[in-house]
Amino acid sequence: MSDREVLTSALGAAMADLQAAIDADDQALADHLGVHRTDLRCLDLVFRHGPLPSGKLARMLGLTPGSVTALVDRLIKADYVRRTPDPTHGRRVLVVPTERVVRIVTELLRERLAEAHAELAGYSDAELDAIVRFLRSATDRHQRAAARLRGEP
């Protein structure tokens, strides 16, 4: 094998290892929080995208509106989210994380984020740009593959 083939093979193996590690970490976090994996995905979306209406959450999670209502009800019962009126739309409500879950998740992730930031300091701006471009391209590729598997255009 050429040096390039060895590197691309190693990259593929590293990506598979990363995916497995993220999957195990997500499961451990869901177990720690006492929620389902889909509930954890919902929390992730609300954390990353800010307050979201249930309908948008349903689309983002690929669930029915009724399923998202039940999911949000579970997260409210756990005191991880709350519903609040949308100030820009009179009849819509938004799902927002509670201060409690923000504290819990911030504490749980503090050390690993500090490690990641310290590690990133060792990369040049050009290297970081290449990593970001690769990860965005991989994300797009996986989203397209998932849509094809679901029979979406």
CATH number at 83 reads 1.10.10.10
Asked whether residue 6 is assigned to any structural domain, the reply reads yes
SS3 of residue 93 by DSSP? strand
Looking at the fold, whether 12 and 51 belong to one and the same domain comes out as no
Question: Which residues span the domain enclosing 77?
Answer: 35-98
Residues 92 and 41 in one domain: yes
> Encoding tokens for residue 131?
């990593």
Residue 58, pLDDT score = 96
| pLDDT value, residue 81 | 98
Strand partners, 44: none
Asked if the structure places residue 140 within a domain, the reply is no
40 is a domain residue: yes
Q: Do 39 and 94 sit in the same domain of this protein?
A: yes
Asked whether residue 134 is domain-assigned, the answer is no
pLDDT below 50 — which residues of the chain?
none
- pLDDT of res. 12: 94
Domain match, 90 and 42 both: yes
Show which of 79, 98, 117 is a domain's final residue: 98
Q: Which amino acid is at 132?
A: V
User: What is the pTM (predicted TM-score) of this model?
Assistant: 0.88
Q: What integer pLDDT is reported at residue 89 of this predicted model?
A: 84
